[in-house]
Amino acid sequence: AQTVTQSQPEMSVQEAETVTLSCTYDTSESNYYLFWYKQPPSRQMILVIRQEAYKQQNATENRFSVNFQKAAKSFSLKISDSQLGDTAMYFCAFMASNTGKLIFGQGTTLQVKP
Amino acid sequence: NAGVTQTPKFRILKIGQSMTLQCTQDMNHNYMYWYRQDPGMGLKLIYYSVGAGITDKGEVPNGYNVSRSTTEDFPLRLELAAPSQTSVYFCASSTQDSNQPQHFGDGTRLSIL
């Protein structure tokens, strides 16, 4: 069975600074996808970034980038130039290819301070 | 585009009551999912469906039932509500392509008292 672990329940960062959220996972699958979702107080689930396991290049989306270490089964999210609107709960998620089923971590609450 | 629509947004039930959480999507997605999110936790998969007439259990199916008579609708049924089912419930949908993300509804906050 796959598991996803986020070891940082809460983090804070000053506006305009950079913060990194950690995620590790465990799987015996060779083909899979990894995701970071953002959940603001509005409760919406918003996809931030995704990574295909077969791609060595780390995914980037504007101020968001990942550090994907396949051998270490690590998938951290870096947020650059943090903005107040980045305040939210962030979830790391795993999906084995062709299953469609997401396995979520426990989440990290990020507070961006002015 | 409405995307994924869940109703109701909030509901309070008494122990032992039953109810159906509605979910509909207008994106012609084959795959649909129900998750629950307990306070301070991640989402856990209750049931999912890969197409009309096909459903399967997720991580935490006990106490729930689903049906999928159409591509658009995927209702979740609670037959005998228990306090342990107090949670926020999310419905999601996606295409068959694993590379495409799931689209989530806005959630239903359910309290069992």
A98 Cα to chain B: minimum distance (Å): 5
Q: Which residues of A touch B108 (CB under 8 A)?
A: none
| pLDDT score of B95 | 87
Nearest CA in chain B to A102: B45
Confidence of residue A76 (pLDDT cuts 50, 70, 90): very high
- Of the candidates A50, A99, A105, which has its C-beta nearest B42's C-beta? A105
The mean predicted confidence, pLDDT, of chain B is 93
pLDDT of residue A7 exceeding 90: yes
Q: CA B28, B76, A105 angle in degrees (round to 5)?
A: 85
User: Which pLDDT score, from 0 to 100, does residue B81 have?
Assistant: 94
Whether A63 has a pLDDT exceeding 90, the answer reads yes
One-letter amino acid of B60: V
pLDDT digits (tens, 9 = 90+) for B49-94: 999 999 999 999 999 999 999 999 999 999 999 999 999 999 999 9
pLDDT at A101: 85
Residue contact A107–B42, C-beta within 8 A = yes
Identify the contact set of chain A against chain B, taking CB-CB distances under 8 A: 4, 9, 33, 35, 42-45, 47, 50, 52, 91, 93, 95, 97-107
* Dihedral in degrees, nearest 10, Cα atoms B11, B79, B16, B6: 0
Of A9, A45, A101, the CB nearest to B45: A101
Half-sphere exposure for A108 (CA within 13 Å, toward CB): 26
